[in-house]
Amino acid sequence: MTRLGTFRAYYLGAVCCIGGFLFGYDSGIIGGVLTFDSFKNDFDYSKKNETNVTALAVALQQLGGFVACFAIWPFTHRYGRKWALVHCSVIFCIGALIQTINTHSRPAFYIGRVIAGIGLGGSSVIVPMYSSEMSPARLRGQIGSFYQLLFTLGIFTSYWVDYGVASDISKTKSSQWQIPIGLQILPAGLLGLGTLTLKESTRWLATKEKYDKAWESLKWIRADDSEETNLEMDEIRAGVEYEAHAKEGFRMTELVDRHNFKRVLTAAAVFTAQQATGATAFAYFGPQFFKLLVGDEGTTDLLLTAIFGAVKFLACLLFVLLMADRFGRRQTLTIGALSMAVCQITTAIVLKYNPVQKDEPVASSGIATVALIYLFVIAYNFSWGPLPWPYVAEIFPARVREPGIGTGVASQWLFNFVFSLTTPYMIRDMGGWGTFLLWGLFDFLVAAYAWFGLTETRGKTLEEIAVPVDQRRPGTGSSRVLIEEGEGLDPKGPQVVVR
């Protein structure tokens, strides 16, 4: 693979993963905005119903994302990854604009959240699909992790924007909350415009029998038309034809056949586990969580949340640069979940026996719990933060990749909705130590699932992963799809031989 090809692979990953930045920025910005007096005054709600407003403002976006996961795959199946991603950016811009206008209407703000969620949810399905289909096998884990890296960069940016406007803009001015909300439109626009500079997915074009365009797409992304690239094109075409002829006329019932249903369950379980770690709840409600650890002293909670975002981003950056494809997915996910469990449960114990005292300086126990939460987010971004996205995109064959990933990511949005809706009530009713203990117990369950329930995909091509074990040639452990001349599935195409 040429240097230019490597650059283009990274470029494609960076552009389409602006969707991750957008997801992260939107996730991080709302928690701080909901604490601003200017927002509370403009939308006219009191302390009494603050928990309800907080839960709805966050959770309704997840509901939009959940719906989009099922709505987007027929669109991307018919029109391709590129144009579906462009449309998602436009939809998000509309939702963000509605939120930014000071309507003084909570229902209008909620509608804007739902519309923005539709754009985010659709892009969260397309990005890992598009990235995995265009990335070379040796870079797929690293480039697939760009989504989480830019997600953490978005969160990092949002936290500091919140802290900045809270410190520098009067609490009575509407611009205090409009600036952070309105800034969402910038990355959404960059996502749409940047996607226009990319080529359509080679594998999608091959599924539509647009082989000339598929070849041009592969040549562009690899910046090469050598024999090696020709062989890759042959393998992609053979794999696509094998899957297409295995079952003529796709039906949704294919998702529940013996091999595909296991993949669907795995995808759903992986994303559910990602949400159950508690990290996403921290992304949305960082200021509220840090108040549990250090009390309510001015903007201390916002400052600690902003530092949390910086730690989160740096940890994910180190993972992408140094670890993405060096260790097995299963091993990394297991160790990460165990580390998070230790941090969360230790935090719960400290809070149980050293509760935060109001109107007193931050105690050493409070500093210790903050450090534990920073260690927690480091462990998350070395494991369950970045890896679920490439892992889920890897396990589906091209024939069912759109609905398969869509179903898996839908579970991410569903439990994102569940946890974002319930977290404010957990904080209110269970208190700090109970909330952290619950997340820690969830993390232990996640670790057990990773070790006993997942198979390894690192270093395999998508075609290798897609071929079921019982269809491999006896006596070999490889599932590589080979191309041989002769009478094949298509008189004009290659014959698929699996071994």
pLDDT, tens digit, for every residue of 361-396? Answer: 566 777 888 899 999 999 998 989 888 877 887 787
pLDDT at 239: 79
% of the chain with per-residue pLDDT over 90: 30
Looking up tokens 């990092």 gives 156
Please say if the pLDDT value at position 471 is more than 90: no
CA–CA distance, 95 with 73 (Å, rounded to integer): 21
In the CATH scheme, what is the homologous superfamily, with its name and number, of domain 3-202+209-464?
MFS general substrate transporter like domains (1.20.1250.20)
pLDDT at 488: 39
Please say if the pLDDT value at position 98 is more than 60: yes
CA–CA distance, 73 with 437 (Å, rounded to integer): 38
Q: Which residues pair with 496 in a beta bridge?
A: 483
Q: How far is CA 462 from CA 75, 129, 266, 392, in A?
A: 22, 11, 16, 11
Please say if the pLDDT value at position 479 is more than 60: no
Among the listed residues 73, 76, 81, the one whose alpha carbon sits nearest the alpha carbon of residue 135: 81
Residue 218's CB is within 10 A of a number of other CB atoms, namely: 24
Please say if the pLDDT value at position 411 is more than 50: yes
pLDDT at 473: 44
How do the domains of the chain map onto residue ranges?
Answer: 3-202+209-464, 465-498
First to last CA, the chain: 25
- pLDDT, tens digit, for every residue of 35-84? 888 998 999 887 778 888 888 888 888 888 888 888 887 888 889 999 99
Could you tell me the two tokens for 190?
Answer: 């960059």
Q: Is the model more confident about 157 or about 167? A: 157
Q: Which span out of 169-183, 234-248, 485-499 was modeled with the highest average pLDDT?
A: 169-183
Q: Which span out of 55-59, 192-196, 325-329 was modeled with the highest average pLDDT?
A: 192-196
- Mean pLDDT value across residues 334-343: 94
Contacts 24+ apart (CB under 8 A), 273-276: 273/337, 273/384, 273/388, 273/446, 273/449, 273/450, 274/384, 274/385, 274/388, 274/412, 275/412, 275/415, 275/416, 275/418, 275/419, 276/415, 276/419, 276/442, 276/443, 276/445, 276/446
Q: Do the Cβ atoms of 65 and 390 come closer than 8 Å?
A: no
Give residue 275's identity as a one-letter amino acid code.
Q
% of the chain with per-residue pLDDT over 70: 86
pLDDT at 91: 96
Please enumerate in sequence order all residues whose Cβ is within 8 A of that of 258, keeping only pairs 6 or more positions apart, or say none.
none
pLDDT at 110: 94
Lowest mean pLDDT among 194-208, 284-298, 450-464, 465-479: 465-479
Please say if the pLDDT value at position 129 is more than 90: no
- pLDDT, tens digit, for every residue of 277-307? 988 888 788 788 888 887 766 667 778 888 8
In this structure, are strands 481-484 and 495-498 parallel, antiparallel, or unpaired? antiparallel
Q: Find the DSSP H helices in 202-328.
A: 202-207, 211-222, 227-246, 258-276, 279-294, 300-318
CA–CA distance, 394 with 417 (Å, rounded to integer): 25
CA–CA distance, 283 with 162 (Å, rounded to integer): 13
CA–CA distance, 492 with 186 (Å, rounded to integer): 47
pLDDT at 336: 93
Q: How far is CA 259 from CA 255, 266, 397, 452, in A?
A: 8, 11, 10, 18
- pLDDT, tens digit, for every residue of 100-118? 999 999 999 999 999 999 9
Helix, strand, or coil here: 495?
A: strand
Radius of gyration of the chain (CA): 23
Please enumerate in sequence order all residues whose Cβ is within 8 A of that of 344, keeping only pairs 6 or more positions apart, or say none.
278, 372, 376, 436, 437, 439, 440, 443
Q: Give the single-character DSSP code of 482.
A: E
pLDDT at 460: 60
pLDDT band at 466 (very low <50, low <70, confident <90, very high): low
Q: Do the Cβ atoms of 278 and 339 come closer than 8 Å?
A: no
Lowest mean pLDDT among 10-24, 178-192, 351-365: 351-365
Give residue 166's identity as a one-letter amino acid code.
A
pLDDT at 88: 95
Q: Is the model more confident about 334 or about 363? A: 334
Please say if the pLDDT value at position 495 is more than 60: no
- Mean pLDDT value across residues 144-149: 77
- Mean pLDDT value across residues 127-146: 82
pLDDT at 46: 78
pLDDT band at 480 (very low <50, low <70, confident <90, very high): very low
Average pLDDT of the chain to the nearest whole number? 82
Please say if the pLDDT value at position 1 is more than 80: no
pLDDT at 261: 83
CA–CA distance, 344 with 434 (Å, rounded to integer): 10
pLDDT at 340: 95
Please say if the pLDDT value at position 329 is more than 90: no
